[in-house]
Structure 1
Amino acid sequence: MPDISRFALGLRARLAGAVRQHPVLSIALALKLTTAVALGAVWQTKIRHSGDLNDYRDLLVDDPGGPSGATVKVTSLGTTMMLVDDGTTQILIDAFITPAGLLDAALGRPVSTDPDAVDTALDKVGADRVRAIFISHSHHDHALDVAYIANRTGATVHGSPSTLNIARGGNVPEDRLALLDPEKSVTVGSFTVRTIASKHSPNPMGGEGATIDKPLLQPAPISAYKEGGTYDFLVAVPEKSMLFKGSANWIPGALAGVHADALFLGIGGLGRAEQSFSKDFLDATIGTVQPAIVIPTHWNDFFCPVHEGVPLQRKLVDNTPAAFDTVLARTKADGVDIGLLEAFASITIR
């Protein structure tokens, strides 16, 4: 990457000379060129994607075909949204497919579920037996499409009071709304789902613990999707279990005694975290849960449609290669397998 500051200094000197010779025209040109340089600097340091997934392509996994026997198939739909399928029953973790563009977020423009985008994605992964949707928290990149998907599938929505208000805004019937309760497990077909209280990654949009206190109707700006409390989900079937942790944070001791064969680990923000935070987070998750495999999630640019591929997060959001490298180092040290799922790719938990 070029040294932008050195380039800008040189350009400034040349513009000063031009202004002395042709004051009026040169001032206009100077303003345009200065703006171009400033925009280029913003692109390089903020808006550009933080890395290239091809650098980690040897970690990608995809098990085609459906689950068989005693296996469970987990399919990614981008960000933290996962379809969990035992061949008979399906559940969804989170509900976010509709792309909310970067400009929509920056300008506070209202957004709505895109039915065509959601239908296409759900059809592509064969989501035709969904009985329950579990929402880890109520930000748009976890819950934007929950009402539409619940109405399409007839699934019950399990979430915080804020999540249930998103569903109410989309006219999901009250008898298919279930409040998360960390004291009680939920049975859905052969799945047993335990809710574990957690925390959002540091400095969440809208503030930690901010809530949605009335039905949220679409269209609405993404800032309206308050966190509403954050949760992990331990999903178990006979002889195997999976922990879905959507955010890179934890409550000390919350995962004590929890074991999972597969850990779907949200790493959003980990690339910018202090080294001590990252170590403590991985101690509390990988070190405590002791999975056979870790599948990092929440690493793709959620402002891009999933059907166009899943580039890494933009620099203004996270340093995804640094997050990958931190988790890679830990899994290697612990002798734990690691895999990455692109959108619509699957992993079989045996």
Structure 2
Amino acid sequence: MNDDTEGQRPKRRMQVFGRRTVLRGAALGAATPLFSATTTHAETTAHRAPTAGSASFRWLGTSGWRIDVDGRTVLFDPYITRFKTGLFDGGFTPGTKLRCDPDLIQEHIGHPEVVLVSHSHWDHIADVPHIAKSTGARVVGTETTFHLLVAFGVDPGQISVVKGGEVLDFAGITVEVVSSLHSRNKQHSYFAPGTLTAPPTATPRTISDLPEGDTLAFQVTAGSGGPSAFLMGASDFSERAVRGLSPDLAMVAVPSSTATFRYVPRLLRALGEPGVVVPVHWDNFEKPLSEPPRRDPAMDLDGFVAQVHQMSPASRVVVPDYRTTYGADMRAAAPTASEPS
């Protein structure tokens, strides 16, 4: 999660890609896509499954994503239950008990093969034990994530421990693991730091039982030609680690403070000014996904968007919502006249 200044609350052209992709929105029950009709098109069916040779992206709130590639599903930081901790009400309670809503989770996850976890704070990992045990999906994360999941009863053989630098081939879906960093508050301190070198002696029961455990980012590439999506779970990064990734899409965490020097320009430059930038982790993640996203009033989403426009004017910024599936057709370079607008 992001940090606040007191160590508790977070302060919190479609451009046609010359290489290979077209990004479009398919609204669930909404008539207006987020993209300009002159450059993209909205699909006319609600939450339609992606066609062969395509990929789709659905924001699960916070930093979470569901990525579908030719009927196969990858999840990143899926936090769906979204229970209250007092974080957004001025009464943050570290002893809040962990909760999991299996029926609600199943509505959103499909049948995942792989679950990528950036770090082990509750708003990133709390639903992962249930997803892993109920679907058999492989979980990729840090050593701390491994030990926590084992404590939750996940089969150790189902978990892949990574550190950053690994390039994993999941039969046509490539996952590059990127060493990364968690955000810091204005005192340059981490929220709930700590790592585990062995499973805890008891099953975690509260949010305070889940330390950060180091932070990763991931780049997921569908097929041999893309599209590629860079996924962040916290608003800091290792400039050397991300340099040269050159993703088509960058799902970028909105910074919780100004503690990181020139966060936006350094990140966009290192990533090669992605064609599409999607801000994440700016929403109130204690409100249900059935409601429209609500901003954390302490997060400067508008300021972030303005910085992206200033620093990378060729990048298109798409502010996501929970009810839209965004498609990236790997076989089309631009919408055709026969496609709906």
State the AA in 2 paired with 1:330: M
Q: Which of 201, 204, 209 is the matching residue for 1:224?
A: 209
Q: Which of 231, 234, 237 is the matching residue for 1:247?
A: 234
Of structures 1 and 2, the one scoring higher in RCO (CA 8 A, sep 6+) is: 2
Q: Deviations over 1:157-205 (max 9, x none)?
A: 1111111122112211111011014243112232010101011112321
Match of 2:221 in 1: 236
Match of 2:248 in 1: 261
Q: Which of 181, 188, 191 is the matching residue for 2:173?
A: 191
Q: Which of 111, 115, 118 is the matching residue for 1:129?
A: 111
* Superposition pairs of residues 189-338 of structure 1, within 5 angstroms: 189-202=171-184, 203-207=189-193, 210-215=194-199, 220-237=205-222, 238-240=224-226, 241-269=228-256, 272-273=257-258, 277=261, 280-289=262-271, 290-315=273-298, 318-331=299-312, 334-338=313-317
Larger Rg: 1
* Superposition pairs of residues 1-350 of structure 1, within 5 angstroms: 60=34, 64-103=47-86, 106-116=92-102, 119-123=103-107, 125=108, 127-202=109-184, 203-207=189-193, 210-215=194-199, 220-237=205-222, 238-240=224-226, 241-269=228-256, 272-273=257-258, 277=261, 280-289=262-271, 290-315=273-298, 318-331=299-312, 334-350=313-329
Offset at 1:213? 4.4
Offset at 1:111? 2.0
Offset at 1:129? 2.6
* Counterpart contact for 1:212–1:225, Cα < 8 Å: no
TM-score using structure 2 length: 0.75
**CA shift in 2, pair 1:268/1:306, >3 Å:** farther
State the AA in 1 paired with 2:209: A
Offset at 1:338? 1.2
**CA shift in 2, pair 1:130/1:246, >3 Å:** same
Offset at 1:214? 4.3
* Counterpart contact for 2:117–2:124, Cα < 8 Å: yes
For structure 1, the residue ranges without an aligned partner over 5 or more in a row are 1-45, 51-57
Q: Deviations over 1:6-27 (max 9, x none)?
A: xxxxxxxxxxxxxxxxxxxxxx
For structure 2, the residue ranges without an aligned partner over 5 or more in a row are 1-7, 13-31, 36-41, 330-341
* Counterpart contact for 2:151–2:204, Cα < 8 Å: no
Matched length: 282
> Take 1:219 and 1:228, find their aligned partners in 2: how far apart are those partners?
14
Q: Deviations over 1:286-308 (max 9, x none)?
A: 22222111111111011222223
**CA shift in 2, pair 1:213/1:259, >3 Å:** same
Q: Deviations over 1:258-296 (max 9, x none)?
A: 111111111141xx316x82xx32233222222111111
Larger deviation: 153-162 or 181-190? 181-190
